[in-house]
A and B are shown apart, each in its own frame.
Chain A
Amino acid sequence: SQTIHQWPATLVQPVGSPLSLECTVEGTSNPNLYWYRQAAGRGLQLLFYSVGIGQISSEVPQNLSASRPQDRQFILSSKKLLLSDSGFYLCACSGGNQPQHFGDGTRLSIL
């Protein structure tokens, strides 16, 4: 079965600093990968998804970008963080028509 690793688990960053969150997947090959953000007390907003290496689709315009340098690696980045980037970031993975499975998330606080 697939396992999704996210790190770090928590992160506190100043406004204007860069960001790099990493997600790696084990137990599957050529998965679809997803980044979601969950604002406090809210549902999930899909930020990016990827169906293969170097293939990134953005769902909403924002201050963030994503990259997929390897089949099972998905990275979420920003050059300059905004206060509004605070939230709980979740990476998810699915293969074919299988359900999405989620990592444990990264809680990002911007000061």
Chain B
Amino acid sequence: GEDVEQSLFLSVREGDSSVINCTYTDSSSTYLYWYKQEPGAGLQLLTYIFSNMDMKQDQRLTVLLNKKDKHLSLRIADTQTGDSAIYFCAESSTGGYNKLIFGAGTRLAVHP
């Protein structure tokens, strides 16, 4: 079945780059997404990439997609303390209606 996997925790120093990785199983996913969740809040859409793209850049965020390996990554340049949050990877489901399958989330901790 459809599944999305992420590492659970990442710790980086302020100013360094963070790379959060995700693998998915559904090769027919049309879009892949990154969401950010701050403590006690809902999910904020950070960025998404169409499956026929390899890379998408948006200011400090770079998304890389390796469709052959079904691997998605999110790179955050110059990581700041405000980037501390849980980051969810999600793939669009072949079930239709824009249903998403989410990973368990990666907790990013940024320390001085």
Contact = CB atoms under 8 A, between A and B. Distances in A.
Contacts of B35: 102
B45 A99 contact: yes
Contacts of A61: none
B99 A42 contact: no
With most chain A CB atoms within 10 A of its CB, the pick from B41, B48, B100 is B100
B42 interface: yes
Main secondary structure of the interface of A (DSSP, over half): strand
B88 A32 contact: no
A46 interface: yes
Interface in A52-107: 57, 90, 92, 94, 96-105, 107
Contacts, number: 49
Interface in B92-107: 97-100, 102-105
B42 A49 contact: no
A105 B86 CA distance: 15
Contacts of B44: 102
Interface string B35-47: 1000011111100
Interface of B: 30-31, 33, 35, 40-45, 48, 88, 97-100, 102-105
Given A90-B43, A102-B44, A105-B41, 7 more contacts: A46-B100, A49-B99, A97-B98, A99-B33, A99-B48, A102-B35, A103-B42
19 contacts: A6-B42, A32-B97, A34-B99, A43-B88, A43-B105, A44-B43, A44-B102, A46-B99, A46-B100, A94-B98, A97-B98, A100-B45, A100-B98, A102-B35, A102-B43, A102-B45, A103-B42, A104-B41, A105-B40
Interface of A: 6, 32, 34, 42-44, 46, 49, 51, 57, 90, 92, 94, 96-105, 107
